[in-house]
Amino acid sequence: MHNPAWRTYRYAGRRLERKVADEETAQQIIAALEQESIKYETYFKLIIATGMRRGECCGLKWSDIDFKERTIHVQRNVVKVTGEEIFTKDPKTTAGDRYVYFSPEMESLLKEYRHECDYQTESYENRKLTEDDYVFRRNGYQLPMTPSTFTWRFKLILKKHGLPEQLNVHSLRHSNASLLIANGADVATVAGLLGHSQPSTTLDIYTHAFDKNKKTASQAMQSSLEI
């Protein structure tokens, strides 16, 4: 007899390998993005820099960005179900409502993109851009862009620039986490930045990266002691 809930089952066994862009590939992606429109450059660089999910990035409003503190308040997620209108919802866990941080370089790009949005809004909508506007919104509407739009665009960018086409937008989130771990961030810090409800979730997902870090730290300690 067919069980309609079969898709919810979680099977034990070999974990699927996560699609992650290593540091060299991430740098190549960043270079490729600098040849794209500023909207797509900003969106994808934000995910690389902060580890936000696709829908979280689509759900950002200008009021969520604090340029003085260089922080972003992640507090909503954009969802698009086939055949239904796009909508936003709160993060599924309290940990999802969080702050992430960006560099001076990312600040410059965000401000440049804000100027472009100001110009577009005044020129084509005859109004001022407001803090309540979505950072990535549909032209002519006060609605966020659909996450799948960025999924499709990212595939085009990878193909255009001869980059690994097995990667996807979520790969950029994994790359952010892997780079944080490689730079010595502990599991609680990584969990907090990614919005995981439990550090054990982070540890489960990125066990290999943490194990590699432990090996490197252990070898460095032994070298310092000349063992």
Tell me the per-residue pLDDT of 1-19, one tens digit each, with 9 for 90 and over: 444 433 333 334 444 556 7
- If we measure between CA atoms, which residue out of 200, 197, 196, 151 comes closest to residue 171? 151
SS (H, E, C) the chain: CCCCCHHHCCCCCCCCCCCCCCHHHHHHHHHHHCCCCHHHHHHHHHHHHHCCCHHHHHCCEHHHEECCCCEEEECCEEECCCCCCCEEECCCCHHHCEEEECCHHHHHHHHHHHHHHHHHHHHHHCCCCCCCCECCECCCCCCECCHHHHHHHHHHHHHHCCCCCCCCHHHHHHHHHHHHHHCCCCHHHHHHHHCCCCHHHHHHHCHHHHHHHHHHHHHHHHHHCCC
pLDDT score for 49: 95
pLDDT digit string (tens) for 68-118?
999 999 999 999 888 778 888 888 788 899 999 999 999 999 999 999 999
66 forms beta bridges with: 71
pLDDT score for 1: 44
Pick the CATH number of 19-221 from 1.10.10.1150, 3.30.950.10, 1.10.3210.10, 1.10.443.10: 1.10.443.10
Residue 193 pLDDT grade (very low, low, confident, very high; cuts 50, 70, 90): very high
pLDDT digit string (tens) for 146-191?
999 999 999 999 999 999 999 999 999 999 998 898 888 899 999 9
pLDDT score for 47: 96
pLDDT score for 215: 65
Amino acid at site 42: T
Looking at every residue in the chain, the average pLDDT score rounds to 86
Domains of the chain: which residue ranges?
19-221
pLDDT digit string (tens) for 11-41?
344 445 567 888 899 999 999 999 999 999 9
pLDDT score for 81: 81
Lookup: tokens for 213: 């870090």
pLDDT score for 117: 97
pLDDT score for 214: 60
